[in-house]
Structure 1
Amino acid sequence: MANADIFQIRTEEAPKLAAPISTSGVIGWMRQNLFSSIGNTVLTVIGILIAYSLIMPFIQFAIIDAVWTGDDRTACLAVEGAGHAGACWAYVIDYLPQFIYGRYPTEEIYRVNIVYALFVLLLVPLLMPSAPYKGINALLFLVVFPIISYFLLTGLEFGDTVVLPIVETARWGGLLVTLVIAVTGIVASLPLGIALALGRRSNMPIIKMVSVIFIEFWRGVPLITVLFMSSVMLPLFLPEGVTFDKLLRVLIGVTLFSAAYMAEVVRGGLQAIPKGQYEGAMALGLRFWQMMGLIILPQALKLVIPGIVNTFIGLFKDTTLVLIVGMFDLLGQIQSSFSDPNWSTPTQGHTGYLFAAIVFFIFCFGMSRYSIFMENKLHTGHKR
């Protein structure tokens, strides 16, 4: 009886208690990552002060003191005694059609909207790993969509019959030009870069020499020089009466320039593949292109996803350089709007450049996040 009074056997599981507040949730994360030591605490406080000094003026200018409605510059001028005026978003709203379409005819803008819609409808399922019919989707996006977009944007005529009025590329501008150059450069430079990377590693001396010369030449010339040469100098070397559309010349220059950098990124991935992979593929009796398409390239491209996306992001931002050859992309269209006296205010330039920065950040950040998603999905063999 004495032992029965001393010992007690639990027949039910004890209730689980919640973790202490100091070790879980937001407080636990802050204690572990921000205030785990005196040094980290000091750095955290300094970081908060720096962030506050940078972010608060931005919020004050872009949101709190911003002007959202108005018909002209008077709405965005600082009221006497009320301090400085903020961002003039009314000016951006008024110029938004030009920022998106440039000087594209107003009555034909629906054609650009159709191209935008087709681009999104075909790109979204192509980027979704679980979406079905990838082959058909890729064929539509890479072959059918460019043809349809070309005729929609430029126009279509059969003799004297006008199906779609012709719109010269000189009237294109804004986000339309930025996306045309960026998407064309991205889609065309990747396969060309892969071919150049394989050529540089080829055992055939002529192919290897041509690939090396091509890559080193384009990597050694600034993009701004390439654009200038393609737009201004190239016509001087063409036969009399032969000419190319300025946008086409820019697209070719940007694609070749980007392909040279893409080739070096892909070559790094090829060199990272162990020699045993090549030997195993040859042992299976696979030919060169079968080995590359089925064994080597899938592994190499998976390894260099960050480098590929980094090249894409750099290309997207470099589209702003086309302004030097007289093409008004998004940034060029914004700069041209500064000459309008109806919206001339001390904050017009700041607002225009801020709007451009936001647009470019959205596109570049989206590409960056998608690359991280694909890395996590494909790098299953590297997870720990």
Structure 2
Amino acid sequence: MAESDVFVPKPSLPPPSGSVGVAGWMRANLFAGPFNTALTLVALWLLVSGLVPLFDWAVLRGHFSGGDAQACRSGGACWLFVGERFRFFIYGFYPAGQVWRVNIVLAVTAAAIGALAWPRTPGKRFLVPAAIVGVPALTLALMHGGVFGLPVVATDQWSGLTLTLVLSVVGIVMALPFGIVLALGRRSKMMAVRTLCILFIEVWRGVPLISVLFMASVMLPLFLPEGVQFSKVLRAMIGIVMFESAYMAEVVRGGLQAIPRGQFEAAAALGLGYWRTMGLVVLPQALKLVIPGIVNTFIALFKDTTLVLIIGLFDVLATVHATIVDPAWPAIAIEGYLFAALVFWVFCFGMSRYSQALERKLHTGHKRN
């Protein structure tokens, strides 16, 4: 065969310039046909018509420096108010000379959450129980005082963002294990256990959280022995944990029902008992499947902490609401509520993004290759 007859493949041609890069992405996602193009143009018009005036009010004409409300006279956003009341929004009525205790608690809590969330943190099997036990103990010792010579700060003075975070972290840490136990109890073969768990879940899910907080604040002291008293914060914690654990139980139960029967049979064939089967085989798979539902419940819990205002506790939203009626700062309600909205969005968005990262790591989507 002649040398000229040998087939020599030619090098591949580059893709058309309009199908790659930014232009290709825009053509595929924003301008793929007349209908998508029209929707894109309408969306852009709505964004521009809404964001441009907001940017002008909040940034271009906004006031970021000055001594008092007299500096906010141009019609722009008065961010001086947020700066002036920032300490009250974060610490509330906590004594000014003792806020260093709150700062230590917030720093330790953030460090513990970051260490648990970071995938390469060594010794997590020891860090998890240490964080679950140590962080609440440190929070109680520092914030309440009465030990190591620290003056006592009554829980009625816990308020602002500090109270919101305390209620949220305690609710999240306690609601998940309680929810798992209730979900397992609802699927139990023992009729008494199953009936009690079903009654608990249905009763707590059948009433609004406002009613739960009222009952925890007013009725709970009636069932306590004489001389035993719980603070409002502790009563609110108990009500929130009981309420959210009922919802968490149903989320976990959905994950348990999604596990194939073969997993139970395989564990039984290996000689595993009930608790080892649940702890080593079933629960890891079930919790992995319901990560979105668990995080959604956590986000709802974080936002529901604003309802503690009805029993006389001041969370971050309540502190904002209490300050916007100050006659020294007229017409600043929008700035205060925007600050509260930003605080809630940052924490909720952070939980959402972490859950998505955890889903990708654990392949909870079960996508086909």
TM-score tier after normalising by the smaller chain length: over 0.9
Question: Is the CA contact 1:122–1:140 (under 8 Å) kept in the aligned structure 2?
Answer: no
Partner of 1:322: 308
Partner of 1:104: 94
Partner of 1:130: 120
Q: For the residues of structure 2 that align with 1:60 and 1:173, how far apart are their CA atoms?
A: 33
Q: For the residues of structure 2 that align with 1:17 and 1:328, how far apart are their CA atoms?
A: 66
Q: How far is the alpha carbon of 1:88 from its aligned partner?
A: 1.3
Counterpart check, 1:354 vs 2:338: yes
Q: For the residues of structure 2 that align with 1:58 and 1:228, how far apart are their CA atoms?
A: 39
Q: For the residues of structure 2 that align with 1:67 and 1:316, how far apart are their CA atoms?
A: 31
Partner of 1:49: 45
Q: Secondary structure at the match of 1:255?
A: helix
Q: Secondary structure at the match of 2:149?
A: strand
Q: For the residues of structure 1 that align with 2:137 and 2:226, how far apart are their CA atoms?
A: 29
Partner of 1:363: 347
Partner of 1:234: 220
Cα deviation, 1:51-88, whole Å, max 9, x if unaligned, reads 2223223222222221111221111233xxxxxx2221
Q: How far is the alpha carbon of 1:46 from its aligned partner?
A: 1.2
Question: Percentage identity across aligned positions?
Answer: 52
Q: For the residues of structure 2 that align with 1:90 and 1:376, how far apart are their CA atoms?
A: 42
Larger Rg: 1
Which sections of structure 2, spanning at least 5 residues, go unmatched? none
Partner of 1:373: 357
Q: For the residues of structure 2 that align with 1:134 and 1:329, how far apart are their CA atoms?
A: 32
* Match runs of 1:82-231 below 5 Å: 85-157=75-147, 163-231=149-217
1:20 is aligned, of 16, 24, 37, to 16
Q: For the residues of structure 2 that align with 1:47 and 1:149, how far apart are their CA atoms?
A: 47
Change (3 A) 1:67 1:10: farther
Q: How many residues align?
A: 367
Amino acid in structure 1 at the alignment position of 2:33: S
Q: For the residues of structure 2 that align with 1:48 and 1:33, how far apart are their CA atoms?
A: 14
Partner of 1:82: none
Q: For the residues of structure 2 that align with 1:21 and 1:125, how far apart are their CA atoms?
A: 45
Q: For the residues of structure 2 that align with 1:46 and 1:29, how far apart are their CA atoms?
A: 19
Question: Is the CA contact 2:267–2:281 (under 8 Å) kept in the aligned structure 1?
Answer: yes
Partner of 1:73: 69
Amino acid in structure 1 at the alignment position of 2:120: S
Q: How far is the alpha carbon of 1:358 from its aligned partner?
A: 0.5
Q: Secondary structure at the match of 2:63?
A: coil
Q: How far is the alpha carbon of 1:253 from its aligned partner?
A: 0.1
Which sections of structure 1, spanning at least 5 residues, go unmatched? 79-84
Q: For the residues of structure 2 that align with 1:308 and 1:381, how far apart are their CA atoms?
A: 15
Q: For the residues of structure 2 that align with 1:271 and 1:144, how far apart are their CA atoms?
A: 34
Question: Is the CA contact 2:91–2:160 (under 8 Å) kept in the aligned structure 1?
Answer: yes
Q: For the residues of structure 2 that align with 1:69 and 1:17, how far apart are their CA atoms?
A: 58
Mean Cα deviation higher: 237-246 or 130-139: 237-246
Q: Secondary structure at the match of 1:164?
A: coil
Q: CA RMSD in A?
A: 2.0
Mean Cα deviation higher: 205-214 or 121-130: 121-130
